[in-house]
Amino acid sequence: MTKIFAKPLGMLLDFIYGIVEGIGLDFKYLSAYAIAIIITTIVFKFLILPLSLKQMKSMKEMQKIQPLIKELQKKYKNDPQTLNIKTMELYKEHKVNPFGSCLPLLIQMPIIIGFFSMLRNPLTYVASYESITNKAFFWIKDIGFSHKEMVDGVINGFDIGFNIPFIGTALPILAILAGVTTYLQSKMMSANNNQVVDEKAATTQKTMTTFMPIMIFFFALNMPAGLTIYWVVGNIFQIVQQYLINLPKNKLGGIE
């Protein structure tokens, strides 16, 4: 299933790499391949932007009627059948689709997994990958390798002079950035969902905001650095997107 999406995305990355390399944007410490990954990530994010906006719009619509749903739950707590009927009437009255935020996410998931697979196995999906000799990204000599694979050579980071369990002797800067940007994105999303009145949902959201960045950090230690670049750039894109959406209407306009 992932091959269906990974193959065209690999062709897109290969095409963008050809353009970047062709115009001479291939430097010793910033390779055309690294630049191509960044550009492809941004293009990819713009391609799925309508789905992301639709998902956010549905979430906002659900948030607006959460207090009304809570009132119905209190009023009909001993009558689940009437509660279901009244809840569906409420959805219909406010033109809210309870599954509206799930569908765009379900459509996105195979595409995102395909992008993930493509960057994790570029030799399979990116035609020119094997012939690319320069894969540097600032302090990283080859973004085809993970932090854990490069620790001994202190490639993916700076030598900290001592060994840290699970991390090694090199500071995993990209993995740290992956964790930090994941936290910031999650924090902005949870702040945007502050109207949620379900205590269980709020607790789950808080737990995810805390533990997801930690999990992503440890995943990033073993991911190819190119894949971590995709994750960091994607997070930054979504942080900016969320910031612009949260601006007052008189400044930019929001999702309505």
* pLDDT tens by residue, 147-188: 666 544 455 556 655 566 666 656 788 889 999 999 998 887
Band of the pLDDT at 125, cuts 50, 70, 90? Answer: very high
221 and 129 both lie in a single domain: no
Residue 184: give the domain boundaries: 144-256
37 and 83 both lie in a single domain: yes
Q: What is the rounded CA–CA span in Å between residue 63 and residue 57? A: 10
236 and 188 both lie in a single domain: yes
pLDDT digits (tens, 9 = 90+) for 3-50: 888 888 899 999 999 999 999 999 988 999 999 999 999 998 898 888
3 and 95 both lie in a single domain: yes
60 and 113 both lie in a single domain: yes
165 and 199 both lie in a single domain: yes
Q: What's the total number of domains in the chain?
A: 2
Domain end call among 106, 136, 166:
136
Judged by average pLDDT, the poorest of 27-31, 37-41, 126-130, 198-202 is 198-202
108 and 151 both lie in a single domain: no
